[in-house]
Amino acid sequence: MILNRLFRRKPIPEHETPLTGEQPQASTERGYRSTPEDFVKYLYRIMWVDPDLRQAVLDIRDMDRRDGRVKKIHARMARTSVKGGLQLATSSQNKKIIDAWKRFENRLGLANPQKLESDARALVMEGNLMLQTVLDGDTRVAQAIRMPSETFLPKVAPNGTFLDPQTAWEQYDLTTGAKVAGFALWEIAWARLTPDNFDDMGSRGRPYLDASRTVWKQLRMTEDDLVIRRRTRAPLRMAHVLEGATKDELEDYQKRVEADQDSITTDYYLNRKGGVQAVQGDANLDQIADVSYLLDTFFAGAPAPKGLFGYSGDLNRDILEDLKRDYYEEIDAIQDIQAHVYEQIFRFDLLLQGINPDSFDFYIEFAERRTDTPNQRADLALKYQAMGIPKEMVWKSAGLNPAEVRAQREAELDEDDPYPDPFGPNPQPGPRVSITPGNRPKGESATSISND
């Protein structure tokens, strides 16, 4: 009966649920969101954690521990994505929201780069970022603890929706198979990296290097074979030929020769017909095309070219610049996914305080985008200022938080200045900024500032 209901193509009637046929309380869902191959996986989802995800996470963690290249990829992606920290982007000047965000950021440790980097590594290595929301009483969120995503089982129906928001997640001990805990939907803030279907809550994210696991194993095996071949075939050997020698004479000669190998004298003297011939090592040890091919294939699945991870080659500069832009786009996507998780928890924290987050226009983002240098951001801000862009957008493009800049300006106006500004709170316009011709594309400033 279950298989018939899972594999049938027609939509599920409104009067029955997918598995039991019982009357649902309220449902407007029809059909399946998962792909046909996911129908079989659903049978395992309702009983146990996703075995594919678990194995992928274990493999990626093992790769990260054993290979410095994989560790470098994960570490650089995490550090680059959290560079500059989080900020509250809002067009509203409501101090209640700004102060609530500052308190929230301090309580959850989101101002600590190590916390942000740890969460970013989990998103990249596990493909999922799951943060458990821990409350301090009933009025605020006290902690957002990162959980191992491969131990969680989403309790979803075949159409991809959670069966019960009160028991949306279950965590299992993978050693004993016992259920450890259950979590309501609001207790877990979840983000996924490239899921097969975003609308299917049972579709988990994939680790960034998931598709490179097989190539990595082949690369490691080929490198080990190369080292073994060099150790066994590279050294120069000598062939000692003693014609007519008995076994005892041959063994005695071998002992005497091997005992004298550490001495400077390398000549051998024989009192019978024989000879010593040099046997050269393998002449093809410099041919490592297989390793180079696998290395290029592995880094084809990496976010950036191998030149950024310590492998200098004959890569063209223009091509390198294009690949770097692709890398920055990958980082931007990871930043958006990670920041959205914190925004979910912050909105929940506002609701606990009796504040409707939908009444305010704000979102959480990382301060630095595309890993621009300070000079590049300042140059872009000056260009925006020359174009007459509003000040808040100019501050934001310079990598500054408009809310903090506004607060600092107000604090300066409130100070007792022995030499007050004669123009009052609305000073004269600042220096005139213009864009000079012949803009340089490599990041140098191409603006002209004058006080005329």
The model's pLDDT over 407-448, given as tens digits with 9 standing for 90+, comes to 777 777 666 556 555 555 555 455 565 555 455 555 455 555
Q: How many CA within 13 A on the CB side of residue 6?
A: 19
Q: What is the pLDDT of residue 191?
A: 94
Q: What is the pLDDT of residue 183?
A: 95
Q: What is the pLDDT of residue 406?
A: 75
Q: How far apart are CA 120 and CA 73, in angstroms?
A: 12
Q: What is the pLDDT of residue 421?
A: 56
Q: Residue 423, class by beta-carbon neighbours within 10 Å (0-12 exposed, 13-18 middle, 19+ buried)?
A: exposed
Residues 368-401: pLDDT tens digits?
876 666 777 788 888 888 888 888 788 877 777 7
Outline where DSSP puts E strands in 148-248.
Answer: 152-154, 169-172, 179-183, 188-192, 237-242
Residues in Cβ contact with 449 at an 8 Å cutoff, skipping those fewer than 6 apart: 382, 431, 432, 433
152-154 and 169-172 beta bridge pairing: antiparallel
Q: What is the pLDDT of residue 14?
A: 40
Tokens of 154: 């989403």
Is the entire prediction scored with pTM above 0.85? Answer: no
Q: What is the pLDDT of residue 350?
A: 94
Q: What is the pLDDT of residue 64?
A: 94
Q: How far apart are CA 34 and CA 14, in angstroms?
A: 19
Q: How many CA within 13 A on the CB side of residue 198?
A: 5
Note whether 88 and 95 are within 8 A (CB). no
| Spans in the chain with pLDDT lower than 50 | 1-29, 264, 428, 437, 443
Q: Residue 411, class by beta-carbon neighbours within 10 Å (0-12 exposed, 13-18 middle, 19+ buried)?
A: exposed
| DSSP assignment string, 245-310 | --HHHHHHHHHHHHHTTTSS------SSSEEEEEE---TTTT--HHHHHHHHHHHHTSSS-GGGGT
The widest CA-to-CA distance across the chain, in whole angstroms, is 113
Q: How far apart are CA 274 and CA 189, in angstroms?
A: 80
Residues 339-369: pLDDT tens digits?
999 999 999 999 999 999 988 888 899 988 7
Q: What is the pLDDT of residue 428?
A: 47
Q: How far apart are CA 96 and CA 152, in angstroms?
A: 36
Tokens of 396: 């934001």
Q: How far apart are CA 81 and CA 339, in angstroms?
A: 10
